[in-house]
Structure 1
Amino acid sequence: MKKTFFSCLALCMAAEISAQTIPSPDIQIKTAVMAAPSDKQAGAKVYGYASDGTFKVLREGSNDFVCLADDPKKEDIGVSCYLAELDPFMERGRVLAKEGRNAKEIFDIREKEVKGGTLKMPKQSSTLYVLSGSKDNYDAATGALKNGYLRYVVYIPFATAESTGLPLKPDVPGMPWIMDPGTHRAHIMINPPKP
């Protein structure tokens, strides 16, 4: 009985460690920049994870893009890239989430800070690229992802359906629509039809 218990315990511990295995910085960078347009990939700043799970800069950038590596605690693959001017907004969200704030609190705090001028949003539209995929289609040794899905978010702070002519929901797959209209986080959602 003791032998069975300790065998099960060892298997559970091994499964937990392998579920949180963090790829090398090179692999994290390779996977993260896949979300960016091809001409932005080589020079993008990349945030990722140290071997102890700490979130940190893996590579400084030389252009106007920032990319985020896949979170090893999440089941499937999810990487994103965005215009560097969005980084203060994104970083503030990460800090608030780390403090344990829920989504509504994060939204409300950032809304107040943007309106108060303490959190800057870009004056022009700014795009976020989000690439997702199944762990089953990801090769952690090479950083390759098969059958990934790329969607787009174009931030246009305080825009509305009336100011853009966009609907509040898509009528057909792939149709752009506006989400969070009239707020600091107003953005155009573009979800291409999935194959």
Structure 2
Amino acid sequence: MKLHILAIVFTGILISCNSSDKTTTIKEESPDTETIVANESNTKDKQLKPIDTDEALIATALMSAPEESRANCKVIGYNMTGEFVTLREGDNQFIVLADDPKKDGFNAACYHKDLEPFMARGRTLKAEGKNYKEVFDIREAEMKAGKLKIPNGATLHIYYGKKTTYDPETSKVEDARLRYVVYMPWATAESTGLPEKPYAANHPWIMNPGTHRAHIMISPVPEDKE
């Protein structure tokens, strides 16, 4: 009987040792798994490059345009040497304004070509040293006098973010996102039924109501926060 009890105890010890060895093996494999994940993450990070060529400026700026229109958009903006030029010719309804490489962060825009006189006037006034309020007031006066026009319903797409690196394979800028503007000169909250501030994230609202620059703002929630 005693021998039988000893055999049972001995068998239990063996099982316990084997289980301990297996647990140890699993734990020892964990760092290797973490290393693989880390290496994959680092590889992904290494795909990102700085926007430091005219070609990169064009590619990233086009991300502000509707995908089906990008092939034929005209692209304008500052090149890498600081000159404001036509970076690429185009023949559809959109003009794309590339990011200014000398400014912090990233900001590119795509707008209907009928907005170009209004946009160009703003760039001219800024180049003359006018501040935001002066530019606003001058263009408002010119709109009222019929010297300048913003087509009702003309759109502006803005692609922006704090970082200036991008994926050359997709042309996406790191952490950049889109927001949209629909111009409706002189519109108000009363005439549109829209609030003057968003009720919640992703809600449209009207900005600069009652002025020449009245517009509907639409700021989509980033995909990773939906």
Identify the residue that residue 152 of structure 1 maps to in structure 2: 180
Alpha-carbon spacing, 1:25–1:44, altered in 2? closer, same or farther (3 Å): same
1:137·1:147 contact (CA, 8 Å) conserved in 2? no
Cα distance in structure 1, aligned partners of 2:159 and 2:191: 29
Q: Identify if the C-alpha distance between structure 1 residues 44 and 87 changes in structure 2 by more than 3 Å, giving closer, same or farther.
A: same
TM (norm. structure 1) is 0.82
Is 2:90 aligned against 1:61?
A: yes
- AA in 1 matched with 2:125: L
1:111 Cα deviation after fit? 0.2
Greater Rg by CA: 2
1:193 equivalent in alignment to 2:218: no
Percent of aligned pairs sharing the same letter: 53
Task: Name the CA distance, whole Å, in 2 between partners of 1:136 and 1:54.
Answer: 19
Please tell me whether residue 74 in structure 1 is matched to residue 103 in structure 2: yes
Matches within 5 A, 1:117-136: 117-122=146-151, 124-135=152-163
* Offset of residue 25 of structure 1: 2.5
Structure 1's unaligned 5+ residue stretches are 1-20
> Counterpart amino acid of 1:98?
A
Equivalent pairs counted in the alignment come to 174
The offset of 1:182, in angstroms, is 1.1
CA 141–175 in structure 1, closer or farther in 2 if over 3 Å, else same: closer
Equivalence for 2:52:
23
Q: Which has the higher helix share?
A: 2
Judge conservation of contact 2:164–2:173 (CA < 8 Å) in 1. no
Unaligned runs of 5+ in 2: 1-49
Shift of 1:140: 7.6
Question: Which residue in 1 is equivalent to 2:117?
Answer: 88
1:166 match:
194
2:78 matched residue in structure 1: 49
